[in-house]
Structure 1
Amino acid sequence: MKKLFGIFLLLIFTVTGCHNYTPRPYGYFRIDLPNHAYRQFDNAYPYSFDMSAYAADSVVHAKGEEYWINIYYPKLNGCIYISYKPVHNNLQAISEDCRRFVYKHVIKAEAITERRFVNPQAKVYGILYDLRGDVASPLQFMLTDSVHHVVRGALYFNDVPNQDSIAPVLAYVRKDVLKMIETFHWNKP
């Protein structure tokens, strides 16, 4: 009886011990990011700023709109879409429209933080929106002189939104966007 019980225990341990599966987390490719370097964007637009030397800018020809640009990061598979609106006593409506674009992501966002920027010498006032979670656009901003101009920017990656996989690239581009905002100035009143 003891022998049979011992064989039974050995069989149970063998069956349960050999099929112990431990799931492994997904790994992501290592991305070697270059050191930050900047060049000035000044294209006879009503605004200029310092942008990444590793990004390419292209003019957007949208019907009825002007001074729109896209700033592509070809090696990072991302783009900052920048749109421009002149203010004609409608700053409140334009600001609310920009805010509405940001808060469309509230369905997927875990948190949305707002960081205000004020540069009275350059007459640049704005908000940087940092969206946490698996959102399509993790970083957006709006800049204005509060009288004549509004510029809106949104960062998108050409990939499925996954905050873990894009975290290093997002941190890299966030520094570029902060540099863009800090060096932003208006060329025309």
Structure 2
Amino acid sequence: MKFKHFIFFPFLILLCTTACQNNDYSPKPKAYFRIIYPKKVYQQFNKSVPFSFEYPFYANMEPDISRGAKKDWYNLHFKQFNGFLHLTYYDVSGAKEFDEMVEDARKLAFKHTIKASAIDQKIIYYPKQKVYGVYYAIEGNTASSVQFFLTDSAKHYFRGALYFNERPQYDSIEPVIKFIKTDIDTLISTFRWKN
């Protein structure tokens, strides 16, 4: 019986050493999930609020029920992409209050400077509709990729900020951000004040 073990043991060692000699290993590149984008079709948001605009059918408009939310605050939920466009509206009564809101929008956008690789500002100017504002495109591993505000420069102030419920990794969500930016551009270009 000892002789059988003596023959089997070297055979087992030889088998293990030859089986583990695969020198052709190369690491696999990182891969990302395939993203299937829905078709761009828009619908009108026309609730009993002082504004209206178009937003995509594949996104859900939800009232913001968080603490401190006002009645005219909404979240445009891009469920497929785990993202939200937070939308807030304020009735601005005076010039001082208006100036404070504009400065707050700038501060909130530039709060991302630490992680941002670039922050581009674009003026929004639709004089026929009395829609003016600033669009902030924020690049890099930041919590928010797009922020903007719209106003009529007299009474109304509307702000939007895009966030994803994911750890910020710009290179992996960049295609989704580009896709959603088209929807934000449509929202802004179709935006109208009701009074």
Query: How high is the TM-score relative to the length of structure 1?
Result: 0.85
Please tell me whether residue 70 in structure 1 is matched to residue 75 in structure 2.
yes
- Once the two structures are TM-superposed, the CA of residue 170 in structure 1 deviates from its matched residue by 0.7
Larger Rg computed on CA atoms: 2
- Deviation, 1:25, is 3.4
Letter matched to residue 146 of structure 2: L
Picking from 54, 64, 86, the partner of 1:60 is 64
Change (3 A) 1:135 1:63: closer
Per the TM alignment, residue 66 of structure 1 is displaced from its structure 2 partner at its CA by 2.7
Aligned-pair RMSD on alpha carbons? 1.6
Residue from 140, 144, 161 that aligns with 1:137: 144
In structure 2, give the amino acid aligned to 1:74: K
Partner of 2:184: helix, strand, or coil?
helix
Aligned residue pairs total 171
SS state at 1:138 partner? strand
Structure 2 residue identity aligned to 1:137: S
Give me the whole-angstrom Cα distance separating, in 1, the residues matched to 2:188 and 2:113. 24
* Percent identity for Structure 1 against Structure 2: 39
Counterpart mapping for 1:73-84 below 5 A: 73-84=78-89
3-state DSSP class of the match of 1:31? coil
1:54-108 residue CA offsets vs partner (Å, 9 max, x unmatched): 1001112454723110000111111100011111212111100111111110010
Unaligned runs of 5+ in 2: 1-21
Note closer, same or farther for the CA distance 1:86–1:33 as it changes in structure 2 (3 Å cut): same
Alignment pair present for 1:115 and 2:131: no
What SS does structure 2 have at the residue aligned with 1:75?
helix
Whole-angstrom CA distance in 2 between matches of 1:133 and 1:25: 22
Q: Distance in 2 between matches of 1:133 and 1:151?
A: 25
Worse overlay, 86-95 or 18-27: 18-27
Counterpart position of 1:4: none
Distance in 2 between the 1:141 and 1:36 partners? 21
Can you give the 5+ residue segments of structure 1 that lack an aligned partner in the other structure? Answer: 1-17
Cα 1:32–1:111, aligned 2, differ >3 Å: closer, same or farther?
same
Distance in 1 of aligned mates of 2:182 and 2:157: 21
Structure 1 residue 149 corresponds to structure 2 residue 188: no
> Residues 64 and 166 from structure 1, CA distance in 2 versus in 1: closer, same or farther, beyond 3 angstroms?
closer
Paired position in structure 1 for 2:134: 127
User: 2-side partners of 1:182 and 1:85: how far apart?
Assistant: 20
What SS is found at the alignment partner of 2:163?
strand
Residue equivalent to 1:93: 100
> Which letter maps to 1:69?
Y
Letter in 2 for 1:83: T
Report deviation, 1:171.
0.8
Give distance in 1, aligned partners of 2:193 and 2:137: 24
- TM-score (structure 2 length as normaliser): 0.83
Specify whether residues 96 and 37 from structure 1 end up closer, same or farther in structure 2 by C-alpha distance, changes over 3 A only. Answer: same
